[in-house]
Structure 1
Amino acid sequence: MSPTPQQRRDARHQLSTGSSTPGPRRGPSRGSKQPITVDAIIGAAFGIVETEGYEALTMRRVATALETGSSSLYAHVVNKEDLDELLIGRLCAEITLPVPDPAAWRQQIVSICTQLRDQYLRYPGISQAAFAAAPSNLDTLRVSEGMLAVLLAGGIQPQIAAWAIDALTLYVNAYSLEFSRATRNGGAWVRSRDEMLERFAALPGTFPHTKRYAAELTAGTAHERFDFTVNLMLDGLRA
C-alpha cells in the first residue's frame, strides 16, 4: 500500500536534510535543465517570494520557474502546505541558538526572536507560512526547543514557558507580516510621523486622548516597538 501524502510529508521532515533524489522532468524542457530536487524547489520558491512576494507563491508558479510541469514537483513536495513548512524550516536553520544562561535568559530570548524576525523580513510576507498547523520540520522544532531550554534555565515554569513560546512566535510572525506589507512597494501606504501628527491634531474633540498624546502614539521606529513588545511579554513570565 502506497504511503499517504501525510506519511510522505512526515517521513521527509523527520528523516531528511531537505535534499532528495532527482526526479524526472516533464514538459518541453525535459532532460535539458537541472534535475528537480527538494533543494531546487525550495530555491525557486524563495526566489519568487523575494522578487514577487509570498502572495505570488503557488506550486504552478514554482513549476514555471523551474521550467517543468507541476506534476514533477509532487514527486518531492506533497502540496503547498508542505512547501511552506520546508521554507520556514530552511529559515529557522539559519538561527543561532545560545547555550542557555540563567543570568542572560531574557537577552537570549530577545536575540532568538530578533533573528527569526530578520529571517522572515528577507522574504516579503513569508511569515504567513508560519501561521499553519503545529510544525513537524526538525529545523523549526529546533528553534522552539532552544527557546524552551533558555526559558527553563531562566527559572520559568514549564507550562508558562510553553505558552510563552507560542505567544512570542505568533507575535514575531504577525510583526514580520505587518512590516513586510507596510514596506511593500516602497512603503506607499505608510504615513510619515509628521503626517500622522497632523491627522491626529485635526481630529474632532471626541478624541481628546488621541489628540493630547499624539506624540507618544507616533513615537519610535517599528523595530523599537518590536523590542518593547518582546520585553513586555517577558516581564510577565515570572509573575
Structure 2
Amino acid sequence: MGRSTRDRPAKPPLSRDAVVAAGLDVLRADGIDAVTMRRVAAELDTGPASLYVYVRNRQDLLDQMFDAVAGEIALGDEPDPARWREQLTALLMRAREAMDRHPGVARVPLANVPTGPNAVRVAERMLALMRAGGIDDRVSAWATDAIFLYVNAASYEASIYLEEGTSSDDAGEEIHGQFSALPADEFPTIFSMLGHLTSGSADQRFAFGLQLMIEGLLHVKPPAPQGAAAGSRGRPG
C-alpha cells in the first residue's frame, strides 16, 4: 500500500529563484535545447502550468536564467581613469567565465537584448569604464553592443565544442591540415601565414580579441549622429 500524503516529504515551495535554478540545472546537464517548461517542471516535481506563475513562457525563463548568470559577474572596483582598460578587460573576462560555467547560456542574448537588472548593471559598468577612459559616448554605446556580442559568441562557440566532445585546439589541427593541402601557388598568402593562422590557444585568441577591440576604442571615429533606425538591434549589454 502506498504511503499517505501525510507521510510523504513535503516538496520545497516553488519560487522564481527555484524555477530559474532548475532551468540552469537542466541547461548544464543536457544543453539549452533541453530547457523546456515541461522538463523544468519535472525537475521541480510539479506540472508545467505551475511555472507560469513565475515565468511568462520559455523565452522569459531563458531570459531570467541569463540574468541570473549575469548576477555572477563581479563588477570590480569603481572606474579608474588610469586603469580603465585593465578593468574593462577583467570585467569581460569574468563575464566570459560566468557564461562558460553554464554552457550554452550565451545563446540567449544573441538577437535578444538582455534587459534584466543584472545584465543592465554589467552594461552600466562597461559604459562607465569607457567614459572614465575618455571614450566618446557614441563610440562607447555602439562598442558595448559589439564587444558583448564577441564575448557571447566566444562562450557559445566553446559550448558547441563541449557538446561535440571536441575543442578549439582539435579544430585548429583540422584547419591546419586542410589549409596545408591547398595549392600554394593559388593561395600564397594563406600558405605563408599558415603557422600564424592556426597558432595560439582559445584563451590566448580570446584575450587578443578583447585587446584588439578595447585598444581600437582609442582610435575609431564616432559614428555619425542619427536617429535610431526602425527595428534597431542595439543592446544595453
Pairwise same-fold verdict (TM > 0.5): yes
TM value normalised by structure 2: 0.82
Cα distance in 1 for residues equivalent to 2:111 and 2:16: 20
Task: Check whether the contact 2:168–2:202 (CA below 8 A) recurs between aligned residues.
Answer: no
Q: Could you list the per-position Cα deviations for residues 28-67 of structure 1 after superposition, in whole angstroms to 9, with x for gaps in the alignment?
A: xx99421211111111111111111112111111011112
**Counterpart position of 2:57:** 79
The 3 A distance-change label for structure 1 pair 194 and 71 is closer
2:20 is aligned, of 30, 42, 45, to: 42
Q: Which runs of 5+ in 1 are unaligned?
A: 1-29
Q: Which moved more, 1:225-234 or 1:30-39?
A: 30-39
1:174 is aligned, of 144, 153, 160, to: 153
Q: Could you list the per-position Cα deviations for residues 128-147 of structure 1 after superposition, in whole angstroms to 9, with x for gaps in the alignment?
A: 11225333311110000111
Task: Check whether the contact 1:127–1:176 (CA below 8 A) recurs between aligned residues.
Answer: yes
Cα distance in 2 for residues equivalent to 1:197 and 1:131: 29
Cα distance in 1 for residues equivalent to 2:92 and 2:22: 26
Cα distance in 1 for residues equivalent to 2:163 and 2:112: 27
Q: Which runs of 5+ in 2 are unaligned?
A: 1-7, 220-237
Task: Check whether the contact 1:182–1:190 (CA below 8 A) recurs between aligned residues.
Answer: no
- How many residues were matched structurally? 210
**Counterpart position of 1:235:** 215
Q: Could you list the per-position Cα deviations for residues 169-198 of structure 1 after superposition, in whole angstroms to 9, with x for gaps in the alignment?
A: 111111111111023242179636554433
Q: Which moved more, 1:81-90 or 1:159-168?
A: 81-90
3-state DSSP of counterpart to 1:145? helix
* Identity rate, percent: 39
Task: Check whether the contact 2:169–2:201 (CA below 8 A) recurs between aligned residues.
Answer: no
3-state DSSP of counterpart to 2:162? helix
Task: Check whether the contact 1:95–1:115 (CA below 8 A) recurs between aligned residues.
Answer: yes
| Structure with greater helix share of residues | 1
Higher relative CO (Cα under 8 Å, sequence separation at least 6) belongs to 2
3-state DSSP of counterpart to 1:191? helix
> Which runs of structure 1 show a deviation greater than 6 angstroms over 4 or more consecutive aligned residues?
none
Q: Could you list the per-position Cα deviations for residues 148-176 of structure 1 after superposition, in whole angstroms to 9, with x for gaps in the alignment?
A: 11110110111111111111111111111
**Counterpart position of 2:89:** 110
